Every structure is written in C-alpha cells, then in structure tokens.
Amino acid sequence: PDVNGVFNDFGSDAMRWFLMSSPILRGGNLIVTADGIRDTVRQVMLPVWSSYYFFTLYANAAKNGAGYDARQLRADEVASLPEMDRYLLARTRRLVEKTQSSLDQFLISDACDAVSDFIDMLTNWYIRNNRDRFWKEDENAFNTLYTVLEVFMRVLAPLAPMEAESVWRGLTGGESVHLADWPFLADEKTGEATELGRVLVDDPALVDAMEKVREVVSSTLSMRKAKQIRVRQPLSKLTVVVEDTAAVAAYDEILKSELNVKDVELCTLEDAGSQGLKIIHELRVNARVAGKRLRKDVQFAIKASKSGAWHVDASGAPVCETPNGDITLEEGEYELINSVEEQNAEEAANSVSAALPTGGFVILDTELNDDLVAEGYARDVIRSVQDARKAAGLEVSDHIALKLTVPAGDVAKVEQFRDLVSADTLADSLDVTAGAEGSELAVEVAKA
C-alpha cells in the first residue's frame, strides 16, 4: 500500500511495528498489506492508548473531579502492596530485562514479542481485574499503574516512538521520553540495584501462580466460546484439577469474577477419582512418521493405541504391546492426549473439559437453571444500560434515573435481579415496564 496513505490512516508507529515484529527480521518473507498494519493498530497501538486513557479517566475523576496526582512507588512500599500489584511489578521487571537483552542482541522482533505479551497481561488481566479499586480511588492501584506505565513507555520508546512520547509526556509532564534514561534495574558500574530495581521486585512463586490462574481463565473462556455460551451468562461450577491447588485457591474470587461462575472446586490429579472425576489418556500414533521406522509393525502399534494395550515407561514415552513384543514410540511418532470428565454420565453430558498447557485440567458445568438464565438476562440488560450511558455522554461517576421497557416474558427476570441492575449502572431509581411480546428491550437514562 501507498506509504503516505498508511501514515495518514494508521500512523507511522503502526507501520514501524508491523515491519519490526515481522518475519523479515528473522530472515523470512513478508507481504505488506493494509490489513496487516490495521491489525497492529488493533493489537498494539489501541491497547496501549486504552491503558493510558483508563488511568487518566479514573485519576481525573477521583476526589469528586479534583483528580488524584499519582506518583512513582517507593521501594519501601512494595512489600505491603496487594498481590495483583506485586505481580504487575514483577512482570514489568521481566519486560525490562527481556526487552533490554533482546535489543542489546539486535533481536528486534523478540523485543516486540515481549511487549505484545506484556500488553495483553496489562489490559486483559491487571486492568480488567482491578477496575473496582480505581473506582474506589485506591491510591496503591493508582501509584502502581502510574509507575508501570511510565516505565513501560520508556521501554516502548525505541519500538513505538510516537505513541510512547505522547503517553509519557501526558503522564509525567516531561519534555520527551527520548531524553529520559532507559529504565535500568541495576547500576552499570557497581551492579547494585537502582531505586527502580528495588521497586520492580521479581517474585517467581507469585508470577507462576498467577500465570496458572490466567491459563485456567484462558482455557475456560475458550470452552465457553466453543459451546457458544456468552461470558455474561453465569454458570454454576468450574472444577480445576492441578498439582498445586493452594496456589490457585488464593485467586478463586478472580476466577469467579472473570469466568462468571458461582463456585470453583479444586482438586489434585491424585484426588480426581475420589472427587467423581475420570482421567482419560489417549494415544494417537502418527502412521506416516512412525511407519518409516517401524514399517509393518506400525499397524500393530496403531491397533494397540486404539485398544488401550499400551503404557508409559519411566522416560514418559508410550510403549505399545504387540504380538511382536513391546514397541517404544519415539518423539514425533505419537501424540498423547489427556482429558478429564465426570464419572456420572448425566453430569458428563452437561459439562465440557480441557487440558491446561502446563498440566492439569478444567471442567465447566454448562447446565443452566432458571436462576442462572434470569441473571444472564439481567447482565445483558446491564450491558445495554452501560451502552446507553455512553451514548448519553454521561461520566463514569454519574448516577442516573433508569427506565426499562422489557418484553413481558422477561420482566420477572429483571425484577429478580433489580438490585444488581441498579448497583452496576448507578441507577438511583429503576422503573420497569412490560412491553409487548416479541418487542425489544428499550432503555432510557437520565442524569439523576
């Protein structure tokens, strides 16, 4: 595409990032398209700006509109911060280390990958799970996000110089991010930790536990999508089968909130049987690859894999029991698939499961009762009201008078969750009117 058109439509940072994160820098091929550059805007540029916008929106609305003047965290404050803040600081430290190492070695696309992963964690995890804290004007949340965004912009400056400049100047009031120092974690001469290095403290155990929780969330959301169950529809139960249940148990409230489930049950693989769960191990032989080595015996191996006449040896490799003796399969010749399901046939029919990438399983109960269906409808109503608030130009802190015209068959659902609708939409008054059958939900909002 014409470069000037790209700059006008998407900005120079988008093209710069598209090229620097591309296979070209790894010696590969690349087709430059407007759609590819547009995806960069959607996946990188907009999320970065949205994070900054979120911070400024809540910081400026704090103290009844007087605003909160956020500041850099001090090293002596870090130990007392909530786990979610310490996780973000630890991940920011790892971002600085990974990006600095990659740029030092001219591995530009690796640096871009590290930034992309950080953006996903920042927007889709930290900010999503801490909105209430910003709403309640939690100073720790403001100062943590300010600290991280300021450091992040200095990391981002070589990769997206225009956007980093705009956000950094907005945060700090400074002259230019490109005149600021790189966020060194240790003094280059003495090797001692800098003040920033003492703020961005790594915590491997905390990071590992939080990453496992994120893995559970990602896998469960994928199951919801596959079953076409929207996230606003509450479900009754999620069962998580992992080795370290204590690490995940600390975040069960986050799991309930992110996945919209009423209950989270945890158990280990060893306890799965006593919890009514059945672990299923499946072996699939890659006939094309294994056939080169096993020749005619490959058919015996396939038959053994399907009949269950196989076991895993001490090294973790599958061994097929055949008339010609045991055959040990080599890497690339097979695929081991582990799954889990309820032992009770009726419960198994109303659930869906998935294996976690780093070990373990999740099982989601998909059965809906009347209360769950009603709450799901109420949450759809809340979404419609929030859209109406935006369309009316209301501030996030504005209270409203709310009028709903609801299809007659759904009035009882809204009435059952009247308090939830009012609380989540800041409605001081709520008037629910029954509309004609087959009519659409109608929303009227007015500033209270």
Across residues 209-217, what is the average pLDDT?
93
**Predicted local distance difference test score (pLDDT) of residue 20:** 92
**Predicted local distance difference test score (pLDDT) of residue 186:** 94
Is a pLDDT exceeding 70 seen at residue 75? yes
pLDDT digits (tens, 9 = 90+) for 340-350: 666 666 666 77
Q: Which helix (H) or strand (E) holds 444?
A: strand 442-447
**Predicted local distance difference test score (pLDDT) of residue 273:** 61
> Kind of pairing, strands 427-435 and 400-407?
parallel
Backbone angles phi, psi at 11, to 5 degrees: 95, 155
**Predicted local distance difference test score (pLDDT) of residue 425:** 93
Who wins on pLDDT, 350 or 263?
Answer: 263
pLDDT digits (tens, 9 = 90+) for 377-399: 999 999 999 999 999 999 888 89
Q: What is the mean pLDDT of the chain?
A: 91
DSSP 168: H
CA 326/CA 320 separation, integer angstroms: 6
**Predicted local distance difference test score (pLDDT) of residue 402:** 94
Is a pLDDT exceeding 80 seen at residue 84? yes
Residue 205 near residue 84 (C-beta atoms within 8 A): no
Non-local (6+) Cβ contacts of 290 within 8 A are 298, 301, 329, 330, 333, 334
Positive or negative, the CA dihedral 174, 178, 183, 189 is negative
Is a pLDDT exceeding 90 seen at residue 26? no
Share of the chain above pLDDT 70, in %: 96
Count of helices and strands (H, E) across the chain: 20, 12
**Predicted local distance difference test score (pLDDT) of residue 275:** 58
Residue showing tokens 């009035």 = 411
pLDDT digits (tens, 9 = 90+) for 399-434: 999 999 999 889 999 999 999 999 999 999 999 999
Non-local (6+) Cβ contacts of 61 within 8 A are 67, 395, 396, 397
What architecture (CATH level 2) is domain 3-202? Orthogonal Bundle (1.10)
CB atoms within 10 A of CB 146: 20
Residue 318 near residue 283 (C-beta atoms within 8 A): yes
Is a pLDDT exceeding 90 seen at residue 30? no
The pLDDT-based confidence of 281 (bands split at 50, 70, 90) is confident
Is a pLDDT exceeding 90 seen at residue 220? yes
Length of the chain: 448
pLDDT digits (tens, 9 = 90+) for 144-161: 999 999 999 999 999 999
Distances in Å between the alpha carbon of 11 and those of 17, 18, 119, 154, 159? 10, 11, 19, 20, 13
Class of domain 371-447: alpha beta
Copy the structure tokens of residue 21: 């994160």
Distances in Å between the alpha carbon of 256 and those of 101, 167, 213, 217? 37, 33, 11, 10
